[in-house]
């Protein structure tokens, strides 16, 4: 069993070809680039990776290639949580089959206002059906998108009933008080801020890092903040201020389309602009405004391959 991933993780983008099929090699290359530029790990098939616009077969086929890619499986995390229990189980089994132990799971989110008992039953069945002691489940708390939050009572129940299985949470609520409360309440439960805006604050509160969509474009500075915190360097606060300014600028634009626009400009690879509907590429006026806003916050990206 591998060690848990901690530190900076980007919620990686899914690259698409012009026919909107997955650009498998482009997605793999981007993951490699992220790991070489500030990331301790990469999450694939999250929200900004457009996972819920992908079919089960597309995800399973991609995982087969990922397993043979040479990427370090112990630094990868896969979003496997679906509304359907069988799909969640199948994706998680495939993730483990290729050597990735970390799975980020949304709750079954279509039916709203489920009870904690209902959510517990769903996840208990996932654990039972997967039946693999290597599995590390990370909960995906994103109530603005899923409308199904994870209560602290439910988290405590998971930890009591399945010790060593439920390893942490990606809190994308934007509510730092909730992140801090979980880090303080649950010993050994790894809290990741869903925004690098709270990277340093989360680390100080006892959390372990960030899993962030905008890390596709801020990974190097995220890595610098994390390294400064580990070293106790005096410039950690200043680095975090710069990082926060970049995050706040980025979040004024649609996440997938905005981040892909920046990558297209920096790499010269126009296909980075491809997104699946209902997302749309940024119109030129908005794309130019994004580039101007990022220049104002001294944003720079390490060299990318075209």
Cβ atoms of 25 and 57 within 8 Å: the answer is no
Tell me phi and psi for residue 104, to 5 degrees. Answer: -95, 125
Task: Classify residue 245 as left (phi > 0), alpha (psi -120 to 50) or beta.
Answer: alpha
Structure-block tokens of residue 21: 């099929």
Instruction: Write down the catalytic residue from 138, 140, 198, 226.
Output: 140
Strands (E), 102-218: 102-105, 136-141, 166-171, 190-193, 209-212
Concerning whether 253 is annotated as a catalytic residue, the answer is no
What whole-number distance in Å separates Cα of residue 146 and Cα of residue 218? 25
Tell me phi and psi for residue 82, to 5 degrees. Answer: -125, 165
What whole-number distance in Å separates Cα of residue 149 and Cα of residue 153? 11
Instruction: Write down the catalytic residue from 94, 170, 180, 269.
Output: 170
Structure-block tokens of residue 279: 């997302």
Concerning whether 284 is annotated as a catalytic residue, the answer is no
Q: Is 195 annotated as a binding residue?
A: no
Q: Is 211 annotated as a binding residue?
A: yes
What whole-number distance in Å separates Cα of residue 64 and Cα of residue 97? 9
* Radius of gyration for the chain, computed over Cα atoms and rounded to the nearest angstrom: 18
As annotated, the active-site residues are 140, 170
Binding site residue list for pyruvate: 48, 211
- Known binding positions: 48, 211
């Amino acid at each position: 069993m591998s060690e848990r991933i901690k530190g900076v993780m980007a919620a990686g983008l899914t690259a698409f070809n012009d026919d909107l099929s997955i650009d498998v090699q482009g997605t793999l290359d981007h993951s490699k680039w992220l790991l070489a530029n500030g990331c301790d790990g990469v999450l694939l098939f999250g929200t900004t990776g457009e996972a819920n616009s992908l079919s089960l077969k597309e995800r399973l086929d991609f995982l087969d290639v990922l397993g043979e890619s040479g990427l370090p499986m112990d630094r990868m995390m896969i979003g496997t949580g679906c509304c359907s229990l069988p799909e969640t189980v199948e994706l998680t089994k495939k993730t483990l089959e290729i050597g990735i132990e970390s799975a980020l799971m949304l709750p079954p989110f279509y039916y709203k206002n489920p009870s904690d008992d209902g959510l517990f039953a769903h996840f208990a069945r996932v654990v039972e059906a997967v039946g693999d002691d290597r599995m590390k489940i990370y909960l995906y708390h994103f109530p603005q998108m899923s409308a199904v939050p994870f209560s602290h009572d439910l988290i405590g129940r998971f930890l009591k009933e399945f010790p060593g299985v439920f390893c942490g949470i990606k809190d994308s609520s934007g509510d730092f008080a909730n992140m801090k409360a979980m880090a303080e309440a649950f010993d050994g439960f790894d809290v990741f801020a869903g925004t690098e805006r709270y990277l340093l604050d989360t680390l100080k509160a006892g959390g372990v890092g960030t899993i962030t969509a905008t890390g596709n474009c801020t990974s190097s500075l995220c890595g610098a903040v994390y390294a400064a915190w580990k070293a106790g360097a005096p410039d950690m606060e200043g680095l975090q201020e710069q990082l926060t300014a970049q995050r706040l600028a980025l979040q004024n634009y649609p996440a997938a389309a905005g981040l892909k626009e920046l990558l297209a400009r920096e790499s010269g690879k126009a296909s980075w602009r491809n997104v699946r509907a209902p997302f749309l590429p940024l119109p030129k006026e908005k794309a130019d405004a994004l580039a101007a806003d990022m220049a104002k916050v001294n944003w720079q990206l390490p060299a990318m391959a075209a």
